A and B are shown apart, each in its own frame.
Chain A
C-alpha cells in the first residue's frame, strides 16, 4: 500500500477554503473594537524634518497619534544594516517616508486627520538616479553613497581582465539597463496588531514571520516570548512581503500600544505601490572576449544597482546579482564587480529573482549580440557554451550533479519548433503591405537554489514534527504558504517520509509562538531546504511509533502512537545541515555559491505590429530543470506565474517617476498582463535530481523570472530585424524609437 505522494498533483489542502471564499486574509478578520490605522508620509524626496504640525482647528478627540518619540525600543527596522528608522525623526530620505501614525474608529475621520497634519520639511536636493548617486552630486549615505560593493575574480592569475579580453579574437562591450518593478500582489499589505499582558501581537499578510518578530523585538525592546507574529492567509508576496511587513507591523503595533486598542492597518493600493519595496533597477556594463570559434574566454562585468534610500536587503540582492552575472555559461576568466548606491527613492527590496533577473537580462542580451557577430544561431551557440557536469563556475564551484540545461534546451526547441521557425521568420519576405512580423527567440539561464554560500549554515533553520492523538503528525515550520503550496507540499513530503496517509499530516499555521524559525520563505529554499528537514523530522517521529508497534505486537500505528503519548510528548526537532561541500569564502566570493542550480530554457514567439510596435506573445515554451517536481501542477503553476511576471516586466510594467514621486500608483496605470495578454504556456518540467534536496527537488520559485524578458527581446529583435535591444522595458514607444533610429542610420549616407 506504499503510495508515493511526492510526484502526485494532490488537491491542494487550502483549495476548498479558497474556492469557497472562506479563507481568512487579514482584511477579512473582524476584531471587535479595532481602530483603523493610517500613515502620514513625506511628499518631498529629501529634507530636514523641522516639525510635525497638527492643525489646531481639527478635533483631535479619539485620534491616536504616534511619532518616533513613542517607540519604546529602538527607532530601527531591524534587518541587515540599522539605517532605516521605523518613523522619520529628523530627516527625510525619500518620498512616502513614514513620519506620523494615526488611529481612529471612524475611517473617514481618520482620512481627515491625515490631512490635518502638516510636515514642516526643509527640502534638500535629492538624488534620483544611479548616475547622480555615482557622481556624488550629493552625499546621502555614509561618505560615498555606496551601500555595498562586491568583487569577484576568477582565474586571473595576476593578469588584468582587460588584457585577457584584448588578447581575444572577438571583443564586445555593452551597457544594459533594467527598471523598477512593483510586485503587485492582488492582496494589499495589511496587519492587525494588539498589545496585552502577553506582549505584542500581530497578524497579517506576510512571508517571514520571524523577520517581523525580530523587528518587533527591537522596536518594542521585548523578549522573543513576548512577541507573537501570526500569518494570515496571504494573497501573494513574490518578495514584496518578505521584509516590508516588519514596517507595517511595527506601525500597527505602535498604534495599538498607544491607543490600548487593537488596530487594523490595511494599505490602499495607491499607498502600497508608493511606499513599499520594488525590484532594484540596475545598469550592467559587460565587456567580453571570445575566440572566433565561440569559446568564452574572459568576462568583465560591473553591475550597479539602485538600492533606494535605505539598505534593506540590497547587499543580498547585489550578491545574487553578481553571482548570476556570468549566466549559465563556462568562462575561463572573469572579473565581476557589484556596486549598490543609495538614492532618495523608496527603498527597493526583494522581488522574485532577487538580483538575478537584472544581470541575466544583461548577459543574455550580450550573448545574443555575440552570436550575431559569430554568425551563429544564438540558442545553438549558447547550448555549446552552457555549463555541464564537471564545469567550473566563476566562483570556482565544480558542478558535480543535477545540471539539466541541455535537456531543457533540446525539449524547448523541439516543443516550439524553434529551428524551423527561426529560419522561416529570418527569411520571411519583408512585403511592404504586411503590417505585422513574427519572430522567435530564446533565453538560457540558471538560478542558484537556497541561500548563498554559508547562508543556510548561519540561518540554522529548524522544523518540529509532533506526534498527536490517533497517530497524526503536526508539522511546525516558519515557512509560509503564500500561494506556492507550502502547506500541501510539506504534507506530501512528510507523508512519504513517514509512510503515512496524506490525511495523517497536519500543517500548523505559522505563528512565531508555535513554530520554530525555519528561515524565511524566500530564495527558492522552501522545498529544497525546509522540505528536506520536514521529511527527516516526520520520518524520525514515525520511526519511534513503529518501534513501539514492534514491541507492542499487533498494535496499529494509531494505537501505538496513543500509547506513547500517554507517557509524554513525542516530537522531533531537526535543524538543517547543508550538504558537505567546499567552503564558501565570503570575502573573496569563492567556493560553492549554492548547493545546486536550477536551469531553464525559455522560448518566446511574438508578433510585432509594424505600425504600432505592439508585441503580442503568441506562444511561450518554458523548459525548466527543478530537480524533482513534488507536485507537478503546482510546480508548473510556479513556472507559468513567474514567467508571466517576467513578461510583464518586459512588455507592460514600469514605474513612472517625477521628482521622486510615483505618477502611476494605481492599477489603472501600473499595467500588468490580463488573461488576453498572457500567451498560452507550454511548461516542460525537466528533472535532474539533486541529492541534497527532498526526493531530488531543487528550488523553483524564482527561476522562471530569469528567462522571460531576454527570450521576448530576442524574438522581437528577429521580428524587427536589425535592432539590438539593450534596455527594459520593451514598450512600443521604445521599440518605435529603436526602429526609427535604425531607419535614420540606414538613411544617412
Chain B
C-alpha cells in the first residue's frame, strides 16, 4: 500500500515498551485472595512507612494517575489489587429481627454490571439496578464498584445517593477488626471519608424498601451515557395510608458531599402526601443545598432541577 520506507526498517523489530505512569514505576502490585490478607498487606506497608493504595476497578484512580501532573505524582510503593477477592463480591438478603425489616448485603467489590444484571438485586431492590444502568457505560459498569465510589468520595458518584436512600450501613475492615459506619456519617468533606489508612470497605448493608414504596432514581447529566451528573436524586418514600411514614434521599453534585436532604425529609414525613405543598418542598430543597457553578452547569440550574426532581420523587415513580 505504501512505498515509503521507515527508518530502521532493516533493524530487528523491537516492540515498544509499556511504561507505568510517573510515580508508579516501582510500585508492586499484589492480588490477595482474602480480605484478611489485603488488610495485612496494607497494615504492613503503613508500618514500614510505605505508600500503599487499595485498587478495585480503577475507573477513577488509574485515570487520575495517568493524567496526573508529573510534578504532583506521588510515588506509590504497593498497590493491593482487590479484584481477586471473592468475598468482596457476595450478595445476600437477610431478615433483621431487631428492626423487623428485610435487608440486602452487597459486597464492596460488586460491580455496577452485576448490580444491573443480578437476579437477586433485580428481584429485591430494582432501584440499585436502575441506577447501575446509568453509570457511565458498559465498560465502566464492568469495573466500577460501590466500594470504589465510596472510597473516592466524589459528590458526583451515582451509587452513593442510592445508598443514602436505602439507609446503608458500611462494614469496614482492617487488620485490627471490623466496624460499622452509617453511610451518612461516612463522608466528612469534599473527597474525604472516615476511612483510616489500612482500612477497606467490606460490604454495604441496605434496607429493602417495603412493598408499595416509591423508590426512584433520576439522573440529569450532560448526556444520556458517560455523563457526570449535574444533579441526581435517589429517593425511597413510604406511606402508611395517606401519610408519609418514611423518606430518605440522596442527591449528587449539589455540594461537597452527597446531600441527604434532611429538611426535605422533615417537610414530608408525617404529612399527608396529597397535601404536601410544592412551595414547602422547594423551600426545603433550598435550605438543604447550595449548589455552585462549575464546568458542567450552574448553581441556578441545579437548584431549579433539584426542586423538580424532589417533587417528582414524591409524586410519580419515574
Contacting pair B15 A30 (CB below 8 A): yes
CB distance from B164 to the nearest CB of A (A): 21
The answer to whether B295 touches A674 (Cβ under 8 A) is no
Binary A-proximity of B1-22 (CB < 8 A = 1, otherwise 0): 1111011100111111001111
Cβ-neighbour of B7 out of A196, A511, A614, A673 (below 8 A): A196
Nearest A residue to B223 via CB reads A677
Give the distance in Å from the alpha carbon of A270 to the alpha carbon of B312 in the complex.
38
Interface-lining segment among A342-350, A625-633, A663-671:
A663-671
B156 to chain A, nearest CB (A): 11
Q: Do residues A511 and B3 form an inter-chain contact, with CB atoms below 8 A?
A: yes
Q: Nearest A residue to B16 by beta-carbon distance?
A: A30
Partner of B14, one of A30, A108, A652, A677: A30
Judging by beta carbons under 8 Å apart, are A614 and B220 in contact? Answer: yes
B residues less than 8 Å from A508 (CB atoms): 3
Q: Write the chain A residue with the least CB distance to B72.
A: A115
Residues from chain B with Cβ under 8 Å of A461 in the complex: none
Chain B facing A: main interface SS: loop
Q: Does B223 lie within 8 Å of A671, measured CB to CB? A: yes
Beta-carbon contact of A31 and B6 below 8 Å: yes
Is the beta-carbon distance between B137 and A108 smaller than 8 angstroms? no
Contacting pair B19 A230 (CB below 8 A) = no
- A33 at the B interface (CB under 8 A): yes
Which of B7, B71, B228, B300: most chain A Cβ within 10 A? B7
- Chain A residue numbers with a CB within 8 Å of B224 are 674, 676-677
Point out the residues of chain A lying under 8 angstroms from B12, CB to CB: 32
- Near B by CB (< 8 A), chain A positions 30-45 give 30-33
B69 contacts which chain A residues (CB < 8 A)? 115
Interface residue? B297 (CB, 8 A): yes
Given contacts A509-B1, A668-B228, contact A736 B222 (CB under 8 A): no
Q: Is B99 an interface residue (CB 8 A)?
A: no
Q: How far is the CB of B84 from chain A (nearest CB, A)?
A: 28
Q: A656 in the interface, Cβ–Cβ < 8 Å? A: yes
A367 to chain B, nearest CB (A): 30
How far is the CB of A653 from the nearest CB of chain B, in Å?
Answer: 10
Interface segment, B103-111, B198-206, B301-309? B301-309
Closest-CB distance, B301 to chain A (whole angstroms): 4
Q: Are B2 and A115 closer than 8 Å at their CB atoms?
A: no
B22 and A112 contacting across the interface, CB-CB below 8 Å: yes
- Bound together, the chains give a CA A435 to CA B227 distance in angstroms of 22
The reply to whether B19 and A652 contact each other, CB–CB distance below 8 Å, is no
Considering the complex, give the chain A residue whose CB is closest to the CB of B227: A671
B30 proximal to A (CB < 8 A): no
Tell me if A111 and B70 are in contact (CB < 8 A): yes
Question: At the interface, yes or no: A591 with Cβ under 8 Å from chain B?
Answer: no
**A509 and B11 contact, CB distance less than 8 A:** no
Contact present for A663 and B295 (CB under 8 Å): yes
For the complex, is A583 an interface residue (Cβ under 8 Å from B)? no
Cα–Cα, bound, A514→B14 (Å): 28
A115 with B8: CB separation less than 8 A: no
Q: Is B50 an interface residue (CB 8 A)?
A: no
**Within residues 228 to 278 of chain A, which ones have a CB less than 8 A from any CB in chain B?**
228, 230, 262, 268, 270
CB-CB contacts below 8 Å: A513-544 with B: 513-514
Chain B 270-309 near chain A by CB (<8 Å), digits 1 or 0: 0000000000000000000000000111101100110011
On whether the beta carbons of B70 and A671 are closer than 8 Å, the reply is: no
* Chain B residue with the shortest CB-CB distance to A229: B4
Residues of chain A contacted by B225 (CB below 8 angstroms): 674-677
A435 partner residues in chain B, CB cutoff 8 A: 312
Does chain B have a CB within 8 A of A221?
A: no
Q: Which residue of A lies closest to B6 (CB)?
A: A31
Q: Closest residue of chain B to A662, judged by CB?
A: B295
Q: Report A-chain residues with C-beta under 8 Å of the C-beta of B6.
A: 29, 31, 203
Residues of B within 8 A of A (CB): 1-4, 6-8, 11-16, 19-22, 25, 67, 69-71, 137, 220, 222-228, 295-298, 300-301, 304-305, 308-309, 312
Q: Which residues of A contact B (CB under 8 A)?
A: 29-33, 106-108, 111-112, 114-115, 194, 196, 201, 203, 228, 230, 262, 268, 270, 435, 508-509, 511, 513-514, 611-612, 614, 652, 656, 663-664, 666, 668-669, 671, 673-677, 732-733, 736
